Amino acid sequence: MNLLKMKINIPKLRLVVIPSIILTLAVVSYAAEVRWIKVGSLHNFYQKIGCEPESDYGNEQQFGLRWPAFYENQDMQAARGMWIAVKDYYDPVVGVNYEYKIAHSGPRPRVDIATNEFMPVSFGMKGRFAAPSVIVDGELSSDLVWDDNVDSYDPTLPADRVIYNRVNTSTGITMDRTIYGYSQPYYDDFFIYEYVFTNTGICNIDGSKTHSVTLDSVYFHWQYRNAVAREGNVEGSVIDWRGRRGWGTPQNCRWGKQTMNDVIGEDPNNPVTTSAFAEMGEMSYDEFDYAGDIIRAFYSWHGRHSTLSYDNIGSPNYQGYLPDGMLGASQFTGVAVLHADTSPSDPSDDNTQPRTTQKIESNDAATVNNDQYSSMRMKTEYQSFVSAGHENLSQAEQVREANVFPDQYSLAGGYSQSWSFGPYTLAPGDSVRIVLAEAVGGLSRRMNYEVGNNWYRAYAMGESPVLELPNGGTTTDADEYKNAWVYTGRDTLIESFARAKLVYDDNFDLGDNRPPEPPVSFVVESQGTRILIYWSDNATTHPKFEGYQLFRAKGQKDSTYHMIMDCNLTDNNIVHEFSDITAERGQKYFYYIVAYDNGDHPGEIYDGVKLPSSPFYTRTNKGASLLRPPADNMDNILVVPNPFNIRNRNLQWDGAENTIQFWNLPEACTIKIFTERGDLIYTHEHSGMGVSTWNLLTSSRQIVVSGVYIATFETPSHEVAFRKFIIIR
C-alpha cells in the first residue's frame, strides 16, 4: 500500500469507525440475547433461553436456518421448541406434587424468561479469529460487523465459531448447550449441538429453591417447525424488497403449512446406515467412505400444495410475476443423532434413541401458551407427545400411503416434527449427553434456475425437450425430471449428516485441514475509471497457502458471483491489489476475496481440493461503482432508462430492476417527482456525485403505476430543470 493510499484512507476510517463503535454499543443491549453464526453457507441465530421459539426474535415468523445464505429469503426455520419432562415431581417453588412436570421453551408463542421455566445463566460466543475489516468507500461494509457478535477469540478452538449456553430449568435440570459452526467448505452446511443435562436441583431464577432428589422418567423433547423455504412460499400478491412479486401459491403457505416430515432409523432392529443409502443408489457420493454409520434422523422438505393444478415439489415459479419456473424451495433440512448416552453411568451411544418420533400439528393446543402448573395439560403433553413412542408411519409415509397431500385449507399450520430422548433416571449430580447435527442439502442456485426453467418450458410452454435425469437417463415427463432433481437434495443432506459424524468422531476438530484465514482487511474504493481493491497479506503465512481468488457480482450482493482474478504461487503472480477496469458505469458491484490452499490433504475425502476461506468473511454489502463527477450545470440531465418498462430486462439495472437513475446532476439539488396531473409523490435531497437512483416507490412506500411522470431538479441557487419520463408496468 503506497503512502498516497494511506493518506486517503486513514481519515475515512477515522470518520467511520468511531460512530460505528457507538452504534455497536447501542445495539448490543438488544442483541445480547441472540448470537448468529454466519461464517459458512448455513446461517442461523441462537437465543439465550436455550431454544428458538416462534417470533421471539426478529420481525418475521420464518426467520432462521438460511441456506444457501448467499441469497435472500432462504429462511427455513419457523420455530424450535424444547421441553424437559419429569414424572412424579415435587416442585419446591410452589410446594406441589405433580404426576408429570414439564419445563417448556416454546415453540409458541413468545417466551418470557421470567416464567421460571428456562432460566438463562450464561451465554456467549467464541471465535478462532476475528472477522476481517471490510470497507467500501470508507464505510464498514460487512454483515459480520453487526451479526458476528463474538465475545473472545481462541485460536485453539475446534470450530470457527462456538456458542456456549447454560440454562437452569424448573425441573432442577441444568442444560449446557454448545453449538459448533464451521466455515471450511466441506463442513459449512451443518451445525453440531452438544447438550449436557445435569440434575443440579436448581429450579428457580435466583437459585434459592433447590432439591436433592432423584428424577425419574426424564425425557428431553424437541419440536421443529420447518418451512422450506421462504423464497418459494410467498403469495403472488406479495411484493418483495426488489419490487418482484412472489411465486404465486394461492394460499399463504409459509410457516410450514405444506412441509413434509420423514423419519429414518427409528427402528433399532432395522438400522439405516450411510453405506445402505449408497448401496440403494440413494447417495451420489460413492467415492466417500463413511464406514456405514447408523443414521437416526428426520428431515423436512417442501411438499405439494393440495389445491394446485400443477406439481409443486420444489416450488417452481409458475404463477408468480414474470414466471420462469425457477425452483424456490428445493432444500431438504433435518437433524441427525450423533450420540445419545445410554445412561448417566454408561456413556456409550444408545442406538434406540430417540424413543419418540411424533409429528405434531403446528397449531395444536400443546404448542401454544404452555403452562407448567397445569397438571392435566402436562399429563396430556407427556403421554401424547413426549413419551408416545414411534408412529407406525411418519407423516411423509402416511401421505405416500394415502397418495393424497394434506389439505392446506383445513390444516392452517401444517405439521412439525418432534422427538424425545429418554427415559433417563438422574440422581443428584448425574448427567447425560446428547449430540445432534442440523444440516441442509439441496440443489445449487444454478441448478434451481436450470431445472426449473427446463420444467417450465416443457410443462407450461408446450415444448418437448429430452430431459436428463440425475442418474444419467432421460425423460420427456417434466414432473418426473423436476422431482428427480429436487429429491437429490435428500442425498446431499444425508451426505452432510455423514460429514458431521466425521467431525464429531474427531472431537469436533478439523485439525490441519483448514483453509488459510481470509485477509484481515479488504478494501474496495470507487474511482472514476476503475474500482480499486486491495487486501492484507496475512494469509501467506499459512503453511499450505497457494493464492487468492477475487469474485464479483453485479447489481446486488445476493447474486451470482464470477471470479475476476486468480493469483497464485504456481504462476508466481501473487498480488495484494487489483484494479477492476471492466466495471460498467451506472452499475453497482459487490465483491469478496478468498485465500486458498494447495489441496494437500492426504487421507481426507477432499485430498487434492484447494480449500478456500469462506466468502462470508469478506463479502461486501455496499455496492461500489464507477464515479460520475457532478455536472457544472443541468443542461444534460438524463433519466435512464426512459421509458422504463418492467418487462424489458435488457434495459434495467442488474440487481435493481425496479429502479431508474438520474444522470449528470449537479453537486446538490432537490429532486421532486410529480404525476402527470401534478401530484407530488417523491422528494429527495441529492448531494455528492452526478448520479441519483430512485426505486420507483413514493415517499409513502407505494409502488408507482404505469404513466407519465415529471421530475424537477432545483439547485440551492434556485436553478431549475424539468424532465418527463414514462413508466410501463
pLDDT tens, position by position, 461-479: 888 889 999 999 999 999 9
Q: Look-up: residue for cell 413434509?
A: 260
On the question of pLDDT at 381 being above 90, the answer is: yes
On the question of pLDDT at 578 being above 90, the answer is: yes
On the question of pLDDT at 12 being above 50, the answer is: no
- Segment 470-493 shows an average pLDDT of 94
Gap between the Cα atoms of 239 and 247, Å rounded: 10
Contact 335, 298 (CB under 8 A): yes
Residues with Cβ within 8 Å of residue 298, at least 6 apart in sequence:
224, 261, 262, 263, 264, 334, 335, 357, 394, 417, 419
Is domain 521-617 classified as CATH 2.40.30.10?
A: no
**How far is it between the farthest Cα atoms of the chain?**
86
C-alpha cell recorded at residue 639:
433519466
Gap between the Cα atoms of 195 and 538, Å rounded: 36
DSSP element (H, E) containing 116 = none
DSSP element (H, E) containing 636 = none
On the question of pLDDT at 56 being above 80, the answer is: no
Helices within 340-404 (DSSP H only): 375-381, 395-402
SS3 assignment, position 161 = strand
Q: Tell me how far CA of residue 203 lies from CA of 83, 94, 221, 648, in angstroms.
A: 15, 11, 18, 64
On the question of pLDDT at 669 being above 50, the answer is: yes
Q: List b or e across 664-691, with b for residues whose CB sees 16 or more CB atoms inside 10 angstroms.
A: bbbeebebbbbeeeeeeebeeebeebbb
Query: What pLDDT does residue 267 have?
Result: 83
Greater confidence (311 vs 617) lies with 617
Q: pTM of the prediction?
A: 0.85
- pLDDT tens column, 293-338: 778 999 999 988 777 888 989 999 887 667 889 999 999 999 999 9
- Segment 205-230 shows an average pLDDT of 94
Domain 638-728: CATH class, spelled out? mainly beta
Total residue count of the chain as it appears in this document? 729
% pLDDT > 70, the chain: 87
- Segment 136-151 shows an average pLDDT of 93
Greater confidence (264 vs 61) lies with 264
Query: What pLDDT does residue 628 have?
Result: 83
What does the radius of gyration of the chain's CA atoms come to, in whole angstroms? 28
Query: What pLDDT does residue 360 have?
Result: 94
Q: List b or e across 343-360, with b for residues whose CB sees 16 or more CB atoms inside 10 angstroms.
A: ebeeeebbeebbbbbbbb
Greater confidence (219 vs 688) lies with 219
Distance of CA 369 to the CA centre of its chain: 28
- Segment 551-577 shows an average pLDDT of 93
Q: Tell me how far CA of residue 537 lies from CA of 136, 351, 590, in angstroms.
A: 18, 48, 21
- pLDDT tens column, 700-719: 888 899 999 999 999 999 99
Gap between the Cα atoms of 420 and 382, Å rounded: 10
Hey, where are the domains in the chain? 32-126+141-441+495-505, 521-617, 638-728
Contact 568, 562 (CB under 8 A): no
Contact 327, 459 (CB under 8 A): no
Give the DSSP per-residue string, 293-328: -B--EEEEEE---TT-SS--TT-B-SSSSS----BS
Q: Tell me how far CA of residue 392 lies from CA of 254, 263, 333, 387, 398, in angstroms.
A: 28, 11, 22, 15, 9
> For all residues of the chain together, what is the average pLDDT?
87
On the question of pLDDT at 14 being above 60, the answer is: no
Gap between the Cα atoms of 256 and 335, Å rounded: 16
Indicate the burial class of 429 (C-beta count within 10 angstroms; 0-12, 13-18, 19 or more): exposed
- pLDDT tens column, 241-272: 344 445 555 444 556 788 999 999 988 777 77
Greater confidence (409 vs 609) lies with 609
Q: ω before 120 within 30° of 0 (cis)?
A: no
Contact 691, 720 (CB under 8 A): no
Greater confidence (381 vs 364) lies with 381
% pLDDT > 90, the chain: 66
Q: Tell me how far CA of residue 482 lies from CA of 282, 326, 329, 450, 619, in angstroms.
A: 17, 11, 12, 10, 32
| DSSP summary character for residue 81 | E
Query: What pLDDT does residue 504 have?
Result: 96
